[in-house]
Amino acid sequence: NKRTKIKVLLESDQANYETTVMGWVRTFRNNQFIALNDGSTNNNLQVVAALGLLDDATIKRITTGACIKATGTVIESLGKGQKVELQATVIEILGDSDAEKFPLQPKKHSLEFLREVAHLRFRTNTFGAIFRVRHSLAFAVHQFFNDRGFVYMHTPIITGSDAEGAGEMFKVTTLPLDGTAPKNDDGSINFKEDFFGKSTNLTVSGQLEGELAAMAFSDIYTFGPTFRAENSNTTRHLAEFWMIEPEVAFNDLEDNMNLAEDFIKYIIKYAMDHNADDLAFLAQRLEEEEKQKPQNERSEMGLIDKLKFVVENNFERLTYTEAIEILKESNHNKKKKFQYLVEGWGVDLQSEHERYLVEKHFKKPVILTDYPKDIKAFYMRQNDDGKTVAAMDILAPGIGEIVGGSQREERLDKLVQRMEEMHIPTEEMNFYLDTRRFGACPHAGFGLGFERLVLFVTGMTNIRDVIPFPRYPKSAAF
């Protein structure tokens, strides 16, 4: 089973050698020319069947979507658009694809429709490019942290704690759902002891477990699936998404911001260096999409320029309080003033406010710090003003929040007090609080929503289109 990947074959300067390729037929013209794709690139290899090589029965079986194996000689191509082609001497059908039942027509399909044909979605140029870029970004995540001596830590998917305290968890249960499960007085199932006697859910974040590891390895990161049971039908939320969460002992908020900014720039640059073809394809796709919009809604920069800009410029850093001042002063929308003018300091930012700051005011990624403590999680370090915490959110143009993080509250008394104020049961959290009892130290970390980053880098609009198998309320394909 020696085969050459089509990308390698097309990019090599060599010709006049014998090889084998395998892949799926995109088109078949004149009973002779096969455009073959194996997913290594969006560029197809032209496989030429010499006249007389194929009998009528075989010709009928070379249909769009069929899987074939072709052996022959790589020669310089006379046709335009490709340097080389394969002059086939043997063509074998590995898997038929019934032309009458094949769900994809040679026209453009909507992204929504493609979500329903999960197996063929991968074979389109758009999703080919997206998932190769996604792969590179994931690889770059490991490269970045490995180069800096971080330990990759696998945190549990089944857990008893609600790391964000937001109550957006999916329950995990071993209880029989046939009516024999233990019941509460009101007849409902007693889910308190659903996991062999313990209450558990799917993780919303690996942070708390990550903090335990950072208190031993100093620098760690997690990269795994996380789950949120929010019924959010938006283009930015998934029920299952991947998150990267570094946690670093001895770092303060500024170190944390520097790490996050370096990290984001590094992985974007990595994709630009290693996926130039796919990004060019996606840039072209975006440009066509932009042309459908009215002039005043089109983005000023193309995808590649936008990515270059982010990699080459500093993110803007300011406090939540400063951001509120900017929003108050902006006469951005005279008819419908921002909510702040009514509600004032202390409220959470809505996406329209974030977008104003990032897209209209600063026109670059923004790091907002020092949020009011009442709109942030219990574990964030309390600032001396008694009102704010050492939080940081990174907002990206066109996306909004891509990172949430903070310096952590390492002082046991302050942490316990805050948990009590927020009605978080401390007795169940001793596994976590013990880090503050035995050799606590200042530390900080953040979580990057991987799909939000992939969304940003690929220029796609819906987060469902940048994960291979999206899970959201009423997901089409499972």
Q: DSSP string spanning 311-337?
A: HHSPPEEEEHHHHHHHHHH--S-SSS-
User: Which residues share a beta bridge with 405?
Assistant: 392, 446
Min dist. Cβ of residue 315 to Mg ion (A): 17
Does position 456 interact with ligand 4AD (CB under 6 A)? The reply is no
Residue 397, binding choice from Mg ion, ligand 4AD, none, Cβ under 5 to 8 Å by partner class: none
Min dist. Cβ of residue 48 to ligand 4AD (A): 46
The amino acid at 186: D
Min dist. Cβ of residue 403 to Mg ion (A): 8
Q: Which residues sit at the interface with Mg ion, rule CB under 5 A? A: 404
Q: Helices 450-458 and 253-274, interaxial angle, to 10°? A: 50
290 vs 169: CA distance, rounded Å: 37
# chain residues binding ligand 4AD, by CB under 6 A: 22
Does position 65 interact with ligand 4AD (CB under 6 A)? The reply is no
Q: DSSP string spanning 413-458?
A: HHHHHHHHHTT--GGGGHHHHGGGTSS---EEEEEEEHHHHHHHHH
Tokens describing residue 131 = 């998932």
159 vs 206: CA distance, rounded Å: 9
Does position 404 interact with ligand 4AD (CB under 6 A)? The reply is yes
Considering beta carbons, is residue 159 or 205 the nearer one to ligand 4AD? 205
Min dist. Cβ of residue 215 to Mg ion (A): 23
With CB under 6 A as the contact rule, which of the stretches 73-81, 86-94, 185-193, 444-452 interacts with ligand 4AD? 444-452
With CB under 6 A as the contact rule, which of the stretches 37-45, 321-329, 338-346, 395-403 interacts with ligand 4AD? 395-403
For ligand 4AD, the binding residue among 207, 275, 369, 407 (CB under 6 A) is 207
Q: Which helix (H) or strand (E) holds 172?
A: strand 171-172
Sheet holding 171-172, edge to edge: 158-159, 200-202, 171-172
Closest Cα partner for 92 from 145, 34, 148?
34
For ligand 4AD, the binding residue among 163, 303, 307, 327 (CB under 6 A) is 163
CA 353 to chain centre: 23
Does position 241 interact with ligand 4AD (CB under 6 A)? The reply is yes
For ligand 4AD, the binding residue among 129, 324, 395, 403 (CB under 6 A) is 403
66 vs 84: CA distance, rounded Å: 22
Burial class (CB in 10 A: 0-12, 13-18, 19+), 445: buried
With CB under 6 A as the contact rule, which of the stretches 32-40, 137-145, 236-244, 415-423 interacts with ligand 4AD? 236-244
CA 315 to chain centre: 20
For ligand 4AD, the binding residue among 61, 132, 134, 237 (CB under 6 A) is 237
Does position 459 interact with ligand 4AD (CB under 6 A)? The reply is no
For ligand 4AD, the binding residue among 121, 228, 306, 376 (CB under 6 A) is 228
Eight-state DSSP code of residue 331: -
Does position 451 interact with ligand 4AD (CB under 6 A)? The reply is yes
Considering beta carbons, is residue 85 or 245 the nearer one to ligand 4AD? 245
Residue 456, binding choice from Mg ion, ligand 4AD, none, Cβ under 5 to 8 Å by partner class: none
Cα-Cα-Cα-Cα torsion 295, 297, 302, 305, nearest 10 degrees, comes to: 120
Does position 153 interact with ligand 4AD (CB under 6 A)? The reply is no
Q: Which residues bind ligand 4AD (CB under 6 A)?
A: 163-164, 205, 207, 228, 230, 237-238, 241, 243, 245, 401-405, 445-447, 449, 451-452
